[in-house]
Amino acid sequence: MDDDIGLEKAEAGIEEAKRRGDAGYLLKVLAGPSRGLRVMAVRALGEVGGKRARMALASVARDRRGEGPDVRLAAIESLGGLYGDEAYASFLEEFIADDNKRVVNGARRVLSGADPDGYPMRLLSRGCLDHQAIGVYGRSRLAESVPLLGRFLEERAAAGDFLSTNCWGKVYVSVRALGNIGGEDAVKALSVLLGAIHSAGSSGDRVLTQERADKIRGAARAAIDAAGKG
């Protein structure tokens, strides 16, 4: 009961500090041990605004080792009103790869809304090659992504692991993306993959492996047809 009263008092203090624009008080809360209160303080700082708040929130967002993903993501989201559009989009780009998965997904969600036209290219500039990013390249028909996708397929074909559990799903979405984007380079990469599948022949005697091969083969042939018309 005492803990509940203490928490309510702390939350009320944050709300009051937000109303009076007291960034100093909120920064003290931000330095405290309670993660829930730090999230509240972060969001309040985003509403209070000002250079001091902006610098503190940017520092929290970038604290990969010392801060939890929920607090970092709250800081990332709260900075939207404290930067200009282009500056905020560039800031968000820092977090769309090579970070905590929750932070990456959250930053991508915010960035795709803040800069929808530039979002695919920002993913590519960071070398993003996960399922989500590949889907974005395909849907946006980002021709600049063909070298990255083609290289991935050629590497998997050379390694012979394109039907493995870890690779086949990404191979499949890459095939579909290349078909949607189209062009000669896309057809070349798809043809290399088809050749690798043909060379593998019936060596994959397990039913699951054969199903994967059939699915990728069918998608690659359809993608080549689609790419040739692109």
pLDDT tens column, 27-72 = 999 999 999 999 999 999 999 999 999 999 999 999 999 999 999 9
> Are 67 and 1 found together in one domain?
yes
> Are 22 and 109 found together in one domain?
yes
Residue 208 pLDDT greater than 70, yes or no: no
For residue 206, being part of any structural domain is answered with yes
Domain that holds residue 23: 1-116
For residue 121, being part of any structural domain is answered with no
The pLDDT of residue 2 is 45
Q: Report the share of the chain in percent with pLDDT over 70.
A: 93
Taken as a whole, the chain contains a residue count of 230
Task: Tell me which residue of 112, 122, 187, 111 sits closest to 149, measured CA to CA.
Answer: 187
> Are 131 and 218 found together in one domain?
yes
Q: What six digits make up the tokens of 2?
A: 């005492």
> Are 172 and 141 found together in one domain?
yes
Residue 115 pLDDT greater than 90, yes or no: yes
> Are 2 and 74 found together in one domain?
yes
> Are 189 and 100 found together in one domain?
no
For residue 211, being part of any structural domain is answered with yes
For residue 135, being part of any structural domain is answered with yes
Question: Mean pLDDT over residues 104-121, rounded?
Answer: 98
For residue 176, being part of any structural domain is answered with yes
> Are 18 and 91 found together in one domain?
yes
For residue 181, being part of any structural domain is answered with yes
> Are 5 and 67 found together in one domain?
yes
> Are 40 and 134 found together in one domain?
no
Write down the pTM of the prediction.
0.88
State the CB neighbour count (10 A cutoff) for residue 123: 26
Count the domains in the chain: 2
> Are 49 and 139 found together in one domain?
no
Task: Tell me which residue of 162, 154, 152, 166 sits closest to 204, measured CA to CA.
Answer: 162
The pLDDT of residue 1 is 38
SS3 string, 185-221, reads HHHHHHHHHHHHHHHHCCCCCCHHHHHHHHHHHHHHH
